[in-house]
Amino acid sequence: MEEYKPLTYYKKLYEQMERKFSFKAKSIEEWQRWKDEFRSKLIELINLDYPKSELEPKKVDEKEFQDYVREKVIFRSDKLSLVPAYVLVPKNHKNKLPAVVAMHGHGYGKNDLVGIWEDGSERINPSSRGYHKDFALELVKRGLIVIVPEQAGFGERREEEDAKKGPYQSSCWSLSTWALMLGKTTIGRRVWDAMRAIDYLQTRSDVKEDAIGMMGISGGGTTTLFTSALDERIKATVVSGYLNTFKDSILSIYHCIDNFVPGILKYGEMYDVASLIAPRALLVESGTKDDIFPIESAKYAYEKVKEVYRFLNAEDKIDSDFFEGRHEISGRKSYDFLVKWLHT
């Protein structure tokens, strides 16, 4: 009997609930009010209340490659938290360059975006790349400065007991359960760190401050979507392997606890959050065989966001790449998309 099933009530509630910030604007004034009020509520829901401190950036390593230089930097996110990151800089540039914040998903962290194996050795055979496909390298090869921060809970930013279990063991569980019990969220922590990465980029003499983009896949797509929704310094965004509906992905398929934001469905679905990016440039890519972010729901969510771009007469700034593939970076359109809009 349906009445015996514990989710029956919640599924019916989802169907009947009128989310407060579902997009219904009929004028630019209503859109501006919707955007301001929804952003304010989103900041509250993910809880971005972190004590801002001086960045105190330090370069701790540098390695030269044929076409670019890879720096390792550390900056302070708050008074108690340091973020290690790679910065990839094209060689022989004379002017300030656009920059991209590149966000990794679940795995062994930032190293997987820049061609470094789990054991710290350099990747020689590109064909053996994982689902991230070294996309930070693809971006720097196109003349963009790229910063790759370590997301909280991965790589160097794990608890000691998790690090002992191997490179793929994250600290998402402890990070998220502590956060939720204290009224915070892992998404909020990671969005804050990403915003601080932008703060750092804007201190660099080689970065064009008004030409900053963001790209991420999976858990990096989560951080990319929420950060871009809240931070208008981001001029162009690529969300890979994430845009969907909360109902058909996060709530219907097993996902890491770091994906959850208490109460968010009272206010908006995932496509409503993504719609806050409009009218800035946005490309969505998703594989037809992605088994954790179903393609039909990805297409549905994309069309919902596209309606907002159409309302703002900005359809030229939104695009999609629904490619034949699994949960992985495509790059078929995304790299050129960022180059185009960051140079516009």
User: Residues 49, 46, 276, 171: is their CA dihedral positive or negative?
Assistant: positive
Q: How confident is the prediction along the chain (344 residues), in pLDDT tens digits per residue?
A: 788 899 999 999 999 999 999 999 999 999 999 999 999 999 999 999 998 899 999 999 999 999 999 999 999 999 999 999 999 999 988 899 999 999 999 999 999 999 999 999 999 877 678 999 999 999 999 999 999 999 999 999 999 999 999 999 999 999 999 999 999 999 999 999 999 999 999 999 999 999 999 999 999 999 999 999 999 999 999 999 999 999 999 999 999 999 999 999 999 999 999 999 999 999 999 999 999 999 999 999 999 999 999 999 999 999 999 999 999 999 999 999 999 999 99
Burial of 217 (0-12, 13-18, 19+ CB in 10 A): buried
For residues 38 and 163, give the distance between their C-alpha atoms in angstroms, rounded to a whole number: 38
Reading the block at residue 276, the tokens are 């806050």
Which residue, chain included where needed, has tokens 């105190």?
56
Residue 70 lies in a domain: no
Domain count, the chain: 1
Residue 161 lies in a domain: yes
pTM of the model: 0.97
**CA 226 to chain CA mean position, Å:** 7
Which residue, chain included where needed, has tokens 């409009």?
278
Residue 15 lies in a domain: no
Residue 255 lies in a domain: yes
For residues 35 and 41, give the distance between their C-alpha atoms in angstroms, rounded to a whole number: 10
- CATH code of the domain containing 140: 3.40.50.1820
Residue 72 lies in a domain: no
Residue 141 lies in a domain: yes
Q: Which domain holds residue 159?
A: 33-56+95-342
Residue 113 lies in a domain: yes
Q: Nearest Cα to 264, choosing from 225, 308, 318, 292? A: 225
